[in-house]
Amino acid sequence: MTRFLRAVLLFTLLAATGTHAKTPVATGTGGGAATISEQATQSAIAVLDRGGNAVDAAVAAAATLGVTDPFSCGIGGGGFMVVYLAKEKRVVTLDHRETAPAAVTSALFIEDGREMDFDTAVASGLSVGVPGTVRGWHEALQRYGTMSFEQVLAPAISVAEQGFIVDANFSGLVARNEGKFRRFPATAALYLREGKALPAGTTLRNPDLAHTYRLLASGGVDAFYEGTLAQAIVDAVNRPPTAAGVSVRGGRMTLADLADYEARVRAPVRSTYRGYELYGMPLPSSGGVTVFEALNILEGYDLKALPRAQVEHLYLEASRLAFADRDAYLADPEYVDAPVAGLLSKDYAARRRALIDPARAAPGAVAAGDPFDFQQDASYPLRPAPRALVPESAHTTHLTVSDKDGNVVAYTFTIEDWGGSGIVVPGYGFLLNNELTDFDFTGPHPNVPESGKRPRSSMTPTLALKDGRPAFSIGSPGGSTIITTVLQTIVNYVDLGMDMDQAVDAPRLSQRNGAATDIEPGYADSAQAKALLQRGQRWSDLAEEIGAANALVFNPDGTVTAVSEGHRHGIGSAQVQTPSR
């Protein structure tokens, strides 16, 4: 065992005994990390302490989240990484979103001439896209990291082997998915006891996932996309191993689909807002474009001079308009020529802004705009038909890491629904995604399923620079509410002047071009809510937590503040290498 691995094992044992106090906010020097999991944040800091950079630490944290937050993310899924390279003073993005297998057609979720039931589609092999996470980690480490798979996976291997204590939040998530998990014996064996969720206080070990990570540590990326593990993935997708008497639909994935999978290095989508340079994921993520369009709309108001209720009213209406455009135009750029330049035009934002009544909410869904006049390209003939908001699962994870040299990573990755498809690959300990349900089930529409296509995503890892230097990072899980969470947090921080921890902890409102706005428990009876009701805003009947954000703030004195959730998702975890005294 190397000195590095011994140090990692010691760190894991200390974490398991609670030596480190969990806190959602930390300020200090060196690097910083914020995730939703204490073990994942500690994995990032351990790698930074051993000389790794922000990319190395981000992959270490992500691998650990695959153990401790397996219902949100893991190597059976995909994601988007935004990286600031301090030495080069530039931002790059890594798209390792899942792809549709080659056999997929636009009729993927059509059965007997009708759209398949959504929950039926989720818990099936049909919903599984070709996983991109491992290829994305490989590309990130090869291009921008300094460590090997063996080094960055070591903390996660230790957590998987030594185990971690299941908390009430984890147990509750399992309980919500008992029905899905019971269908698949490998999943039930890992997360259920006698058909019920693991109770809080249980020590959960995942030796199969530790074995899988060891395969990657020794064999690299090819160990996932070729050979025995690849065959096991294909078998699980095409012939899902189910409990007696249970039948689910199989997929059409091949070994060639896995072997041919490629990550994409893409130029970030870019905008500006009140002196900040903003960088986000381009398509097939709809997050960057939608958030930046909404901010362009809001930039026309002097929000600092307005009362909070008025600011939030304008935020909701700007979000409504941006979501109308998102649903109409955005999809995989290798299949659809989306009018991104037009959507991000400040002049187009002014046209959309003119539709907002400062005193009254729109009565319901609004129509998409026409950005083609601002596209500087006359070759775009498509004009969309109005469509209802497509369901999108709200279960993902986001992490953010910086290092002492000023590199920054904002990384959101997912397996889609809580527990993805519900299918654990037997003998390998990880859940497969249900990412293909992010496609529109019927067309015509830019986001229908097609062979090799990446489904549109809402993941929104975002970096902000000011005067050429990192100012803050922000991102969240939450399906399509990711977009509103990132947007509202930026408004809270930049326009309402909240500290980042206050901006993250504030009540969240998510308006995605619907008749009602989604809210969190307890909000409807607040004075804040009543002030917005007077402006015609309406609330959804079901109140649930929205998002689980993580952020970094780079302070003028050279320190970094890491921020995670103060009350949502069981409270998040933030650490820095050298805390301020």
E strand intervals along 372-430: 397-402, 408-414
Please check whether residue 401 is in contact with residue 42, taking contact to mean a CB–CB distance below 8 angstroms: no
Mean pLDDT (10-residue bins), the chain, 581 residues: 47 44 91 97 98 98 97 96 98 98 97 94 97 98 98 98 94 91 96 94 97 98 98 98 96 98 98 98 98 98 97 98 97 95 98 98 96 76 51 72 98 92 97 96 93 97 98 95 97 98 98 97 96 97 94 97 94 96 68
Q: Helices 346-353 and 308-329 meet at what angle, rounded to 10?
A: 120
Q: What is the pLDDT of residues 530-568, one digit of tens each?
A: 999 999 999 999 999 999 999 999 999 999 999 999 999
pLDDT of residue 21: 59
Read off the pLDDT of residues 188-226 as tens digits, 9 standing for 90 and up: 999 999 999 999 999 999 999 999 999 999 999 999 999
> Model confidence over 26-73: pLDDT tens digits?
999 999 999 999 999 999 999 999 999 999 999 999 999 999 999 999
The pLDDT, as a whole number, for residue 396 is 78
pLDDT at 570: 85
Active-site residue, selected from the candidate residues 12, 396, 414, 484 = 396
B/e letters for 478-513, b = 16+ CB within 10 Å, e = fewer, are bbbbbbbbbbbbbbbbbbbebebbebbbbebbbbbb
Find out whether 296 and 344 touch, Cβ atoms under 8 Å. Answer: yes
Identify each DSSP E strand in 42-191 by its residue range: 78-85, 90-96, 110-111, 114-115, 164-165
578 is catalytic: no
Residue-level pLDDT at 34: 98
